[in-house]
Homo-oligomer: A and B are copies of this chain.
Amino acid sequence: MKPDKQNKPDISNIISTMNYKETGKEMYRLIEELYPLCRSITGNGVRETLRILKNHIPLTVHEVPSGTQVFDWTVPKEWNIKDAYVRNSKGEKIIDFNKSNLHILNYSVPVKKKVSLQELKDHLFTLPDYPDWIPYRTSYYKENWGFCISHNQFVRLDDTEYEVFIDTSLENGHLTYGEYFIKGEEADEILVSCHICHPSLCNDNLSGIAITALLAKHLTRKPLRYSYRFLFIPGTIGSITWLCLNENKVVKIKHGLVAACLGDPGKFTYKKSRQGNAEIDRAVINVLRDTGHDYEIFDFTPYGYDERQYCSPGFNLPVGCLMRTPHGRYPEYHTLADNLDFVRPECLADSFSLYLSVMNVLENNRKYLNQNPKGEPQLGKRGLYESIGGHQDKKLRELSMLWVLNLSDGRNSLLDIAERSSLDFDLIKKAADTLSEHHLLKNFSV
């Protein structure tokens, strides 16, 4: 029992003292700063992204050489882009990479040639259902070139000759990712992972990057029970690379969240880990329940973000994905419309707060032993039926103490008690603190 630390829930202090408005703006400004970069699964866009994040947290940048075998995969060649455009026969740049990173098919090979409209069309991608929007497309593992444009532009293209110029390089280099580790009181870790491979797309993936970076920043130099690992990695190949190069660390991951799609105004959505009833799953659901707002819970599916890799059967880590509107459920997803107008500072702040609340539950979710298990202890003689607050508060405080006493038989954690009593975790935690102060309860290690 470490009463000092356990009774000072530093994450709940962060929650209660934080300036949410300012934090929301800080995340939004970070998104604004990262928005113009042309990220991909490798290359200088990722490097520049990590460099900017270093202004907030002293993360470590790892460089993994192309060709490195990582499980069933191979780290691909590094892709970089300088310029790309299509000129019409009048010499006008009708598609210009400098106007939007999304115009280029991500991982396009270098091209410089004249093509007919017909040939050009084979390399153009549009969204007929949203004719104003430019889609986001990639071709990481199959060499190809292409441009993404609005369908409105596509249908108006003249039947003439076009000059295609793509100044990219696809060469042996590195896969780059960022990692930041905070050592806590325990070696067991909480993982927060976000993907950093999307170019100018705000909700997917800049909102996840901003939340992850700010969480890391705010948890730094705080007394923490768990150690925390923050990963900024390219999707799929990044998590596979990290898992392969860090297999020995995987066993330490006790809880994890993949952070994505956290800046839109939609309700919260949680996709459970493959385990389905892991402590992280129950903690998130408990926190969502306590918000009083609508939310949605999905069972695990093997389709999604990097939880696919963390939850592969060889690892089966307790990692869920906590989002607002999930990928593919909002039309702006993977289009130019997922821009700076689509994400909002107050939604980011709200998501940030939710992540902290989940961590607060995990940090404080311990088991206690009722020291007077036979009958109720006499709370009255200890002044524990006295209350400063109003009647309703008092009744809830009393009830939470009775619940904690009744269920603290060594089998139930505070989260178990919060679930069974339907009382807020914070109330249960406060009751446990009060009872511990009066020596009616004793924390015990499992």
Seen from chain A, the residues whose Cβ lies within 8 Å of a Cβ on chain B are 70-73, 141-142, 236, 239-240, 243-244, 247, 274, 299, 301-303, 308-309, 311-316, 370, 372-378, 380-381, 398-399, 402-403, 405-409, 420-421
Interface contacts beyond A72-B376, A302-B406, A312-B405: sample of 16 additional A-B pairs, CB < 8 Å, sorted by A? A71-B375, A71-B377, A72-B372, A72-B375, A141-B378, A239-B375, A240-B375, A302-B376, A302-B403, A303-B398, A312-B374, A313-B373, A313-B409, A314-B370, A314-B373, A314-B374
| Chain B residue with Cβ nearest A380 | B141
Please tell me which one of the listed residues B311, B315, B381 contacts residue A141 in the complex, with CB atoms under 8 A apart: B381
The reply to whether A402 and B313 contact each other, CB–CB distance below 8 Å, is: no
The reply to whether B380 and A142 contact each other, CB–CB distance below 8 Å, is: yes
| Chain B residue with Cβ nearest A370 | B313
Residues of chain B with a CB closer than 8 A to A142's CB: 380
A68 to chain B, nearest CB (A): 14
The reply to whether B239 and A73 contact each other, CB–CB distance below 8 Å, is: no
Q: Can you list 13 A-B contacts (CB < 8 A)?
A: A71-B372, A73-B375, A141-B380, A141-B381, A142-B380, A243-B374, A302-B403, A303-B398, A313-B406, A313-B407, A314-B375, A315-B374, A316-B409
| Chain B residue with Cβ nearest A374 | B314
Residues of chain B with a CB closer than 8 A to A70's CB: 375
Copies of this chain, how many? Answer: 3
The reply to whether A72 and B313 contact each other, CB–CB distance below 8 Å, is: no
| Chain B residue with Cβ nearest A142 | B380
- Take A303-B399, A399-B303 as given contacts and tell me if A376 and B406 are in contact as well, using a CB distance cutoff of 8 Å: no
CA A274 – CA B372 in complex, angstroms? 17
Residues of chain B with a CB closer than 8 A to A372's CB: 71-72, 314
| Chain B residue with Cβ nearest A375 | B240
A404 to chain B, nearest CB (A): 9
Closest 3 pairs between A and B when the two form their complex, measured CB to CB: A314-B373, A314-B374, A313-B409
A347 to chain B, nearest CB (A): 29
Residues of chain B with a CB closer than 8 A to A380's CB: 141-142
CA A312 – CA B141 in complex, angstroms? 59
The reply to whether B374 and A308 contact each other, CB–CB distance below 8 Å, is: no
Residues of chain B with a CB closer than 8 A to A421's CB: 301
A326 to chain B, nearest CB (A): 15
| Chain B residue with Cβ nearest A440 | B72
CA A239 – CA B403 in complex, angstroms? 19
Q: Counting chain B CB atoms within 10 Å of each CB, which of A240, A313, A370, A405 scores highest? A: A313
| Chain B residue with Cβ nearest A299 | B420
Residues of chain B with a CB closer than 8 A to A301's CB: 399, 403, 421
The reply to whether B244 and A374 contact each other, CB–CB distance below 8 Å, is: yes
Q: Counting chain B CB atoms within 10 Å of each CB, which of A71, A375, A405, A406 scores highest? A: A375
A402 to chain B, nearest CB (A): 4
Residues of chain B with a CB closer than 8 A to A71's CB: 372, 374-375, 377
CA A240 – CA B381 in complex, angstroms? 16
Please tell me which one of the listed residues B236, B240, B302, B406 contacts residue A311 in the complex, with CB atoms under 8 A apart: B406
Please tell me which one of the listed residues B315, B398, B408 contacts residue A313 in the complex, with CB atoms under 8 A apart: B408
Residues of chain B with a CB closer than 8 A to A407's CB: 313
- Take A141-B380, A141-B381, A381-B141 as given contacts and tell me if A302 and B405 are in contact as well, using a CB distance cutoff of 8 Å: yes
Please tell me which one of the listed residues B72, B239, B375, B409 contacts residue A377 in the complex, with CB atoms under 8 A apart: B72
CA A376 – CA B235 in complex, angstroms? 12
| Chain B residue with Cβ nearest A276 | B420
